Amino acid sequence: MSKIIVRGGNRLTGKVKISGAKNAVLPIIAASILGEEGSSVIHEAPALDDVVTITRVLQALGIDLTYHNETITVNASNIKSVEAPYELVRKMRASFLVLGPLLARVGRAKIPLPGGCAIGTRPIDQHLKGFEAMGAEISLGQGYIDAKVDGRLIGAKIYLDVASVGATENIMMAASLAKGTTVIENAAKEPEIVDLANYLNAMGAKVRGAGTGVIRIEGVERLKGVVHSVIPDRIEAGTYMMAAAITGGDVYIDGAISDHLKPVISKMQEMGVNVVEDENGIRVFVPKDRTLKAVDVKTLPYPGFPTDMQAQMMALLTVSDGTSVLTETVFENRFMHVAELKNMNAQIKVEGHTAIISGNSRLTGAKVCATDLRAGAALIIAALAAEGETEISDIHHIDRGYIQICEKLRALGASVRRAESEVEKAAEVIEAPILKPIQPSWA
Ligand SMILES: CC(=O)N[C@H]1[C@@H](OP(=O)(O)OP(=O)(O)OC[C@H]2O[C@@H](n3ccc(=O)[nH]c3=O)[C@H](O)[C@@H]2O)O[C@H](CO)[C@@H](O)[C@@H]1O
Ligand SMILES: C=C(OP(=O)(O)O)C(=O)O
């Protein structure tokens, strides 16, 4: 099994470049399915495992796609299958985002129930409610969602019971090619939704209000490929901010958009971390001899404190002065890192959705397991401050969301390396079958 091995105690200094956002590039790749004419060229697409997986999903649909040097070129003028392979979709949640675009483009999609991090039950009822309101017929059998529409989807008014990021994106994409206007109420407001709306609008869609709670989409007849650069990853940026702080370091987070990180910046400042924002990035530093203070944190949909930063924040709180209360309100099972942090001598008690962290821990290196993506990031952060060596296993979770994390940390002065397993290095190859183009039922 591959591992990341960290020797703690080094102060991080220097500059780290932030890559394109995983949670923006994934829906943008899915949205490319909507382009009937020309190619889309997507820049700043980091070669994360999740990004590679979704590109393979598109290839399995018979879509022409190439991926070189963080640039993806997609030509979806021909779609040859409406069925996404189980072996790919089970690996990640966001692969379900191909359902809306396929349904809108060719009137049919057969997608396995999605996999991804086991941080909660993660239902897809809000996605399906949206598609049904737009006239789709949905059936579920043998682990697959089969969605059909006779003719085009019809614009509808859809109120989301929860402000789901994925449901907002899936419905927004489907609505772009529907007949008439769709209004999504209680829509998610994350920056990744705005990036997707910008991409769709460049393709010729008419999406208004992305970034607010009400998004209005006027359907158009057809969309075309465009050139787009993905926004920087606010969660990757936040992770390096925590890494800098826990080591008492001084790091410039190059490319981070501070507007996207306000709740993280504000909590870190409350703890006593110095954070200086400018138009190109964020400098994070802890003055010598400053002790960081405990704070209370509650995760919320954007613009609240991101659930995807909860685990990393917890790692930082274990060494801060005093008791912190951290409440997770977005996912019901997102404290799996607690047991692992406790193995490193952290003092944490969980009561329902709340973790009570007694600070001032002297973290010690241990053998620990990355139970999910951000849990893995939290363990690396804790390990940077721990005494001795920490060995983190199950790092395939970390590879879903962090590109070259060991290289980036080493460049900042950390002692961190990967120990690769030969078995995992033999990449799984899933060949796309040879298929014929599909015509929509109304063509
Ligand atoms: C690829 C991607 O962008 N992933 C992000 C996206 O995940 P994802 O889009 O899956 O997260 P959602 O916003 O949909 O989930 C938020 C909450 O809504 C619930 N829910 C969701 C859909 C649904 O149909 N019914 C329902 O009840 C979920 O169980 C969860 O409790 O947003 C999450 C919340 O910011 C982030 O943690 C993930 O990193
Ligand atoms: C939970 C996450 O991702 P996903 O929704 O892809 O599982 C994440 O990025 O932290």
Ligand 1 proximity of 93 Cβ (cutoff 6 Å) = yes
Q: Which atom of ligand 2 is nearest to the CA of 94?
A: 6
Average pLDDT, 10 consecutive residues per value, the chain (443 residues): 96 98 98 98 96 96 96 97 93 92 97 77 93 97 93 97 98 98 98 98 98 98 98 98 98 98 98 98 95 98 98 98 98 96 98 97 98 97 98 96 97 96 54 61 61
Taking CB atoms and a 6 Å cutoff, what residues make up the pocket around ligand 2? 23, 92-94, 116-117, 119, 308, 373-374, 401
pLDDT of residue 432: 47
Is 22 annotated to bind ligand?
yes
Ligand 2, residues 52, 88, 308: which to mutate, most atoms within 8 A of Cβ?
308
ipTM of the shown complex: 0.99
Which domains, and CATH codes, for the chain? Answer: 3-18+233-425 (3.65.10.10), 22-217 (3.65.10.10)
Give this prediction's pTM: 0.95
Q: With a 6 A CB cut-off, is 143 part of the ligand 1 pocket?
A: no
Catalytic residues: 117
- Encode the chain in three state secondary structure: CCEEEEECCCCCEEEEECCECHHHHHHHHHHHHHEEECCEEEECCCCCHHHHHHHHHHHHCCCEEEEECCEEEEECCCCCCCECCHHHHCCCHHHHHHHHHHHHHHCEEEEECCCCCCCCCCCCHHHHHHHHHCCCEEEEECCEEEEECCCCCECCEEECCCCCHHHHHHHHHHHHCCECEEEEECCCCCHHHHHHHHHHHHHCCEEECECECEEEEECCCCEECCEEECCECHHHHHHHHHHHHHCCCEEEEECCCHHHHHHHHHHHHHHCCEEEEECCEEEEECCCCCCCECCCEEECCCCCECHHHHHHHHHHHCCCECEEEEECCCCCCCCCHHHHHHHCCCEEEEECCEEEEECCCCCECCEEECCCHHHHHHHHHHHHHCECEEEEECCHHHHCCCCCHHHHHHHCCCEEEEECCHHHHCCCCCCCCCCCCCCCCCC
